[in-house]
Amino acid sequence: MAASLAESIVERCLLAGFAAAGVAPAAASKWGEAMRAWLAAGSHGAMEYMSRDLEVRLDPRRVLDGTRAFLVVADLYASRAGTLASNAPESGTSARGRIARYAQGRNYHDVMKRRLHALADALRIEHPGSEFRTCVDTAPILERELAVAAGIGWQAKNTMVIHPRLGSYVLLGVVATTLPLTTPAEQWTATDHCGTCTRCIEACPTGAITPYRVEASRCVSYLTIEHRDVIPVELHGEMGDWIYGCDVCQEVCPHNSPRDDGGVPYPAYSPRAAGLELLDVLNWDRAAREQAFRTSPMKRAGLAVMKRNALIVAGNVLRDRSDAALLARVKAVAADNSESDVVRRTAREVLQQLDDRS
């Protein structure tokens, strides 16, 4: 089938508000050996789902019988037009924890899926007999590899996909299809522009990054979202004020430095809050947490995980300044038998660290 169909579909994606789109050929992953070594080393931490369906993950054609191509899209969630050096929570007297930029707006899973489902439904009508499967973190595929193959960008030393104009503040979605799409003739070919730069490696607060590899068990994003157990005490200080996710490696990246043609974020990702008040989180019950995260991607983190994160941030705050109300709440949590074991243990570890430094 002529490349003009692929170009037409890519154009429709751009009209739907996606910042970038491209077509990747249906092929097995080139990262099989590296992926198996990463898993064998335990670098995925407690993310056991990474090792499940590994054969599918390493051959994305298996996500849909007869897959002949992948449509890959990228949503921009933060702009390069202004200064991105600071992602600090709103100023005020109360202690707050920072949220990664991608999680400050509406849930990207819902935002992207709605538009991709609409496109797939339209294409099914236009091309009877063709099949489509929409994937937004819902299938065991390596979205970043497909994004590179589709010309969205290159995979950087911090493993993020960087678009040469948009930077790395992008979210990825994929549509597997049996349509015989071919790569558009003028599709940009990804070239690694990281060069000798090592800013992301040097800035990572926990030393989780080595070139083109992340040790998940030390990554602040992993620790605050995916990890469900207690967090090693030696990593508490390095977590700073991050209560959900981390943007450090992206904030220091020169490819995210301000530029006027860096694109406009999709409106649904407009930040609602850059942070959460620690006392609020530490006082949450299950209903309050559900209400706070009702339309947010942060609903991935359960109540115990958020309270654990808030306690660690509280400990870091209390090492720098006094806050009687916050300290009293940490003590109350440590003594509250209705709290989960992870939460109580974390509160006690935080208090012990404060005692050791006094």
Task: Indicate which residues carry an active-site annotation.
Answer: 137
User: Quick one: how many helices (H) and strands (E) in the chain?
Assistant: 13, 11
Residue count (the chain): 358
φ and ψ at residue 232, rounded to 5 degrees? -50, 135
Q: Contact at 8 Å (CB) between 76 and 234? A: no
* Contact call for residues 151 and 22 (beta carbons, < 8 A): yes
User: Greatest CA span in the chain, whole angstroms?
Assistant: 72
Report phi then psi at 202, rounded to 5.
-70, -30
> Could you tell me whether strands 96-99 and 242-244 are parallel, antiparallel, or unpaired per DSSP bridges?
parallel
Who's near 36: CB < 8 A, 6+ residues apart?
54
Using the Cα atoms of residue 140, residue 143, residue 148 and residue 151 in order, give the sign of their dihedral: positive
- The three-class DSSP label of residue 281 is helix
Using CA of residue 73, residue 77, residue 79, residue 83, what is the dihedral sign?
negative
Is residue 248 within 8 Å of 201, Cβ to Cβ? no
Give CA–CA dist 258/271, Å, rounded. Answer: 18
